[in-house]
Structure 1
Amino acid sequence: MPLYHSILTGIAMGDGKTHTAYKRANTSKEVGDRAIEELCEAGVIRLDKSKKVFTTWEEEDGEKISNKLFFTSPFLRFWFAFVSPLFKGVRDGDYKEVKERFANRESEFIQLTFAELSHEVLKINAKEDPIKEIGSYWDNEIELEIYGKTASGKVIAGISKYTNAKMNKSVLTKLQEDCKKAKIDADIFVLVSKNGFSNELKSLKSESIRLLSLKNFKNLV
């Protein structure tokens, strides 16, 4: 159906928030909610609610925070981001638009997968104090790619970036400021970078400030 296709394309190329997907599909919340329910039941996508604390998934103080939608398969996300919107050309054997679209949105598209793999790397490396739960954090002001809790109760907050630029101290400073704004009392700050870190940031590495780069991902293979 056109509505489903529009919503799925919106999820694939947007920030995953329900209101963004509905806006891209030019549909109302009521109609969109019904479509999302059916797509979740069909196993195409899953819906996650923002959790500002680990003890509840409920909204706090009546604050309305959009849910997020995720594809259950990376292939489905790729399909609705790059293939389905340009299906006529693909069907006819013309892949020019698909290649151009992917080249222009590659880093943005891979970012989510990179963040999810970061979660797995953290779980593998946390042997002394295993990670009890991990995901992402978002509210109406900030987003953190990494938000977790260890078996001993330590809170983890972090940033994961798939970019060619090295991370520097300003990224850590912003992470700490965002945690303070969100009232997240983090015990461990994690920075995950595709292309490494500045020397200044490396000098700050400690048990409470952890830096992970691509070489740490080899444990996933």
Structure 2
Amino acid sequence: MLSQTQPLAKQFQIFYKEHTPKTLEDAIEKFAIFGGVGWGDIDTSKPSYELIKKLILDDYAYIRNDVNEITSGAPLYHALLSAIAMGDGKTHASYKRAKLDKEVGDKAVTELVERGIIYVEKPKKEFTSWAENEQLDNKLYFTTPFLRFWFAFVSPLFKGIRDKDYTEVKKRWQNREAEFANLIFTQLSYALLQESFKEEEKIKEISEYWDKKIALDIYAKTVSGKTIVGSTKYTNAKVKKSELSRLQELCEKAGIDADIFVIVAKKGFSSELKALKGERVRLYTLKNFKILG
């Protein structure tokens, strides 16, 4: 059922070819829910909740059995996976939400990684002295978009779903729908940038950046040693010049010497920001994601 062993960009490529979405916005938003699973044909132009009800909630018992085959159905695993799906993925916060102590949480993470359900990202902070070397949390991410959706909206609310009462699921989805695709948009942006840069300045690593003071959506290193820093904005507003200023200020605060700034936006950019586009400032919109399809 699940293709969690494949890279996210490959999962998106398969999803895009199987369902031929009419828009890239539809492609990303539906991929954030259904990605990594073979569903047959999906009309991605339909409202998300309509598809969730038909394909997931109405078929809950069957899908639950498939998911339990992967997770072993262990309540401890499910509690942690729901905590990861509903939060920012940081280990301490996830353990706290799941009511697990560190030793139990660490062991569960190791087992879930071995099962191919999640993966671990370590912070990219480069410490200049031992005194600075405070413990920073790792972050935990799902290997498959569908599993993230399942453990955010289905597994924690299974009693109502089992009884064909979808009220709580619908309410939770309505509250979180607007921002649910943000993470997938950011993760697909990594693949977009790797493709976009490969002819000029190959990227050897790319992920988020976080330390005690700041967080960046995009932090990348090229083979030649250049540092790329950026942000992703999955909103319906055009991104303004102030976003570039914000990135520059964050880099200064963290002591990061950025060679190139990138901003990936759903709805494009203000004229003022577009005027700054060049070697050091790269701007990308939804249309650029076609190279991943």
**Count of equivalent residues:** 217
> Does residue 202 of structure 1 match 2:202?
no
In 1, Cα distance between equivalents of 2:239 and 2:159: 41
Amino acid at match of 2:167: K
Residue 77 of structure 1 aligns with which residue? 148
Q: Aligned partners of 1:8, 1:139: CA distance in 2, in Å?
A: 23
Which of 1 and 2 has greater Rg?
Answer: 2
Given that residues 107 and 162 in structure 1 are in contact (C-alpha distance below 8 angstroms), is that contact kept between their aligned partners in structure 2? no
What is the identity percentage for the equivalent residue pairs of Structure 1 and Structure 2? 61
In 1: Cα distance, 2:152 partner to 2:131 partner: 33
How far does the alpha carbon of each residue in 1:105-154 deviate from its partner, in whole angstroms, 9 at most, with x for none? 12332111000111111111112222122111111221111111122221
Query: Where do residues 29-178 of structure 1 align in structure 2 (5 Å cutoff)?
Result: 29-53=102-126, 61-126=132-197, 127-178=199-250
Secondary structure in 1 aligned to 2:288? helix
Write the deviation string for residues 56-87 of structure 1: whole angstroms up to 9, x where unpaired.
9xx98421100100111111111101111112
- Structure with the higher fraction of residues in helix conformation: 2
SS in 2 for 1:93: coil
Q: 1:191 corresponds to which residue?
A: 263
Q: Deviations over 1:155-202 (max 9, x none)?
A: 100001211222111111111111111111110000111111111111
Question: Which of the pair is proportionally richer in strand?
Answer: 1
Please, what TM-score do these two structures have when normalized by structure 1? 0.92
CA RMSD of aligned residues (A): 1.7
Partner of 1:14: 87
Name the TM-score, length of structure 2 as normaliser: 0.70
Q: Distance in 1 between matches of 2:191 and 2:117?
A: 22
SS in 2 for 1:205: coil
Unpaired segments of 5 or more residues in structure 2? Answer: 1-73
Give structure 1 stretches of 5+ with no counterpart. Answer: none
Q: Which has the higher contact order (CA 8 A, sep 6+)?
A: 2
